[in-house]
């Protein structure tokens, strides 16, 4: 296994603290990662392979200054935590956010369990528009503050068991996903990621999604619809009507370097016109 370049990672997220496996370190790198490395699905949209090995993750998210989706984000974060000496276990979740009530979804989301000094935490830097900015204590039915929204973990008493992750967004509790504590491994994520990048019905192929927490709020892009969620105010909504506006949002708003692909400009133009990606 290739070692992770912690210095390059810390430079990418702007972390200058110590490298001890402490709660303060976990909280700070979790927060900075979420702020610095946005969620985006441009590679699946462009039909480019998403590689989850550590060499590819470091090249894309660190050296090339791109973003990524949950497997990329949380696998990179997992490698960082382990290199620092944390005890980390990968988990999987069924996404409920935006899905109709009662629909059973696949285990298509990745998150991490961190065990530290007798306490278990949930760490998740890859849930898009409402991703955690700090880890949560795995403590049921307790409202937990972060630097952004309130969150809670609710035990599930049906046959699936486990926990549901809720966020208080816009003054209402909204269910994000449900998960249990069954360990997941690299092959599990490889299979799920491949499915999301190849199945014609996958929403990762049919439209652009991008998100990042910002000072006082969050950016969320759904195709050409940009929403700026304010923590203490009404959301601002805009329609990006040109490929140039979309490019500017990715480079200036999200702070990433766009992929070098001849297919990018036509895709951005179609999305700006309100047309399907393909």
Residue by residue, DSSP assigns 115-149 as EETTEEEEE-S--GGG--SS-EE--BT--EE-SS-
Token pair belonging to 78: 């997992």
Token pair belonging to 126: 């890859």
Please give the positions annotated as active site.
70, 109, 124
Give CA–CA dist 217/156, Å, rounded: 30
Please enumerate in sequence order all residues whose Cβ is within 8 A of that of 77, keeping only pairs 6 or more positions apart, or say none.
Answer: 30, 33, 112, 123, 125, 126
Q: By three-state DSSP, how is residue 62 classified?
A: helix
Q: By three-state DSSP, how is residue 275 classified?
A: coil
Residue by residue, DSSP assigns 184-241 as B-HHHHHHHHHHHHH-TT-HHHHS-EEEEEETTEEEEEETTEEEEEETTS--EEEE--
The dihedral formed by the CA atoms of 47, 51, 56 and 58, expressed in degrees to the nearest 10: 100
Label the pairing between strands 144-145 and 150-155. antiparallel
**Residue in the block written with tokens 């990433």:** 256
């Amino acid at each position: 296994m290739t070692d992770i370049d912690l210095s390059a990672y810390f430079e990418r997220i702007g972390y200058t603290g110590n490298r001890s496996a402490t709660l303060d370190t976990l909280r700070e790198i979790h927060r900075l990662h979420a702020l610095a490395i946005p969620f985006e699905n441009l590679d699946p949209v462009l039909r480019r392979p998403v590689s989850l090995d550590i060499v590819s993750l470091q090249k894309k998210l660190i050296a090339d200054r791109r973003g990524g989706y949950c497997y990329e984000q949380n696998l990179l974060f997992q490698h960082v935590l382990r290199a620092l000496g944390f005890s980390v276990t990968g988990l999987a979740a069924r996404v409920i956010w935006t899905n109709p009530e009662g629909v059973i979804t696949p285990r298509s989301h990745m998150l991490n369990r961190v065990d530290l000094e007798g306490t278990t935490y949930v760490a998740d830097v890859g849930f898009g528009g409402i991703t955690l900015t700090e880890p949560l204590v795995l403590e049921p039915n307790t409202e937990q503050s972060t630097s952004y929204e309130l969150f809670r973990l609710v035990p599930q008493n049906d046959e699936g068991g486990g926990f549901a992750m809720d966020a208080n967004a816009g003054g209402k509790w909204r269910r994000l996903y449900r998960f249990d504590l069954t360990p997941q491994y690299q092959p599990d994520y490889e299979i799920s990621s491949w499915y999301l990048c190849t199945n014609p019905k996958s929403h990762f192929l049919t439209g652009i999604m991008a998100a990042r927490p910002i000072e006082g709020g969050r950016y969320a892009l759904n195709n050409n619809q940009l929403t700026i969620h304010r923590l203490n105010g009404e959301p601002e909504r805009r329609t990006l009507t040109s490929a140039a506006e979309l490019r500017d949002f990715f480079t200036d708003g999200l702070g990433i370097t766009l992929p070098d692909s001849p297919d990018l400009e036509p895709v951005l133009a179609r999305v700006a016109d309100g047309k399907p990606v393909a």
